[in-house]
Structure 1
């Protein structure tokens, strides 16, 4: 099922030497060469997006109407549960779920100690990972996470511990938060600075929650947040491929934009992410309203990234609609 052996033992006992002499190939997951190219993959990299629509082309105002193919809800859920791990691409979804759970177990029981040699509380780490999954794609503060753990797990954890564990998770590339966007707008608008919480891959949030595809099919509200996580993972990859960065926006009145892509030349685009095609109209209205608010530094493009849609097109109001399964860099 796993296609691998876990070799355990004290340091310097020959684990690496033995492994190297029996393995036909070696991949070092922490190797910084080529900008950590063993990160998880986008849907386009894994072959699950047909790449008919380019993010770079959108910024150049190029979006010809195109049929992008049928989309199945269960398939979208499976892609979110599987994640972009190279080793999971050709295994069945239930097996990929177990692989991701094992990945988190390794982080908690082994990798956290290896970072700095400090032994931490395994149970607290698991509780925090679970709380982060419940707050995926939100701007939950450390205080909110403490309250969340108390409410859902009836356990206490102080903010210093949460902060310390979060730092470790970031250093282990488990988390990659989405920073806040601060456009140069009139001073009367106060912009939030809190990052949006994110696992580096949607599958990790799924594993931390302990859910599967069938359970998510029956709970589309929870899946909506996980789908947003998958889309923002891809947008980050595509943005970086174009020399850009991914942000989110929220002001003092809780007006928000799910995702903001800013290119190196200063142009930026506002993206709303919706699972169902029936949500496109509302998302477009929100984007157009935000454009009026940000009129002194308005976005170059407005776009709705959709799950259950089979066509990419530009609406009469100028808002673009793009299925995530058709997007590339």
Structure 2
């Protein structure tokens, strides 16, 4: 469908497009989930042949008198923000069962309704896709040599490129440019203001649509700040509660855990779960997830961190950069039906990101902000992988060091290094 005809804007292609086409060929209904403003409606409209927006007044009226009429239309039919009318889930399921055809419906949603029977009757009928904010390769449509994650899994190595390395100021701009499609063309000051408004909306309205929250919005807002301060770390709910006590002195870790769960249901927070391979040593794998906000620019806005601040705080910049890398790798892994995990053992050895595929292949990724840290990243990967029982899990398909300011090349031991801006699916 031509999105300009419907919403007055041309469609900007997204990495998730191909996955949506495949899903529509395989299932009767596809559910596209993700945080508010990540572009789900535009992506779904682009693939749909008819649509209904559930937040419009007319569909809300029809729900009470003729809900099945909302399903009538050329396939694929988009039901946008379906969670506003959870009863549609079972109606769609029955329609899919009756038609026995693929590609009947696309549902989009920016919040996960509470678990009940409607969430357990989609097996075999629905496929789920997560739409995240835009990656650097989507935000910055540049003519440069790309390093494909799929290519790395296939054994292809990139050409050496020295003359496309970014400076630190360009890395900072990349982090502060939001991946929310409507914000990518704003100035950094304008987008920071929009992102702070986004956090306010989540704190005041979105969380309360999901559950009865007894604390004031300032508490949720402070929790988002605490999460931003701890992105890309396996922070505990106890530590987060300590941060939040600046505005809620009596809050406990159990309440913070509940609020984090609500933010996950809104897709504002995403866990990076641990990877637990067999080890050669007596070390134990740490099983805490790392937590990330939906977009690194949102984390920077929560912290009030602009270009000058990040330029003077390289440690904080490095944490946000790692979150940006994990974000993009997660989008690329999704395109391969894979996922991104992390590894940390009781001896303190870490792999920042481990991309795993359904067939058992895996790739190890180290993140270093500066190109001058390449040798440290290569040595770190070697050290950790030597402790992993590769007889059980196999050798990694690739070793990759992602930098902010370094070149693209292959080291003598076969490790690939590339700047984040060069990565692609």
TM-score (norm 1): 0.86
Does the 8 Å CA contact 1:146/1:156 hold for their aligned counterparts?
A: no
Does residue 172 of the first structure (1) align with residue 266 of the second (2)? yes
* Paired positions, count: 309
- Deviation string 1:108-145 (CA, Å, 9 cap, x unpaired) is 01111111354532222122111111111100111122
Q: What's the counterpart of residue 219 of structure 2?
A: 124
Q: Which moved more, 1:114-123 or 1:89-98?
A: 114-123
Does residue 105 of the first structure (1) align with residue 200 of the second (2)? yes
- 2:413 maps to which of 313, 317, 320: 317
Which protein has greater RCO, CA pairs closer than 8 Å, 6+ apart? 1
Distance 1:278 1:257 in 2: 19
SS of structure 2 residue aligned to 1:252: coil
- 1:84 maps to which of 169, 179, 192: 179
Q: How does 1:295-314 map to 2 (within 5 A)?
A: 295-296=389-390, 297=393, 298-309=395-406, 311-314=407-410
Q: How does 1:228-307 map to 2 (within 5 A)?
A: 228-296=322-390, 297=393, 298-307=395-404
Does the 8 Å CA contact 1:42/1:234 hold for their aligned counterparts?
A: yes
Q: How does 1:68-217 map to 2 (within 5 A)?
A: 69-150=164-245, 155-186=249-280, 188-217=282-311
Distance 1:222 1:161 in 2: 27
Distance 1:275 1:199 in 2: 19
Q: Which moved more, 1:56-65 or 1:216-225?
A: 56-65
Q: Which moved more, 1:180-189 or 1:277-286?
A: 180-189
Distance 1:252 1:89 in 2: 41
CA apart distance, 1:34? 8.5
Q: Which runs of 5+ in 2 are unaligned?
A: 1-54, 61-78, 84-107, 110-125
Change (3 A) 1:37 1:301: closer
Distance 2:280 2:327 in 1: 31
- Deviation string 1:193-251 (CA, Å, 9 cap, x unpaired) is 10011111111211211221221112111111001111110000001101111000001
SS of structure 2 residue aligned to 1:270: strand
TM-score (norm 2): 0.67
Distance 2:248 2:212 in 1: 29
Distance 1:155 1:117 in 2: 20
Q: Which moved more, 1:296-305 or 1:182-191?
A: 182-191
Change (3 A) 1:203 1:144: same
CA apart distance, 1:184? 3.0
Q: Which runs of 5+ in 1 are unaligned?
A: 1-14, 21-25
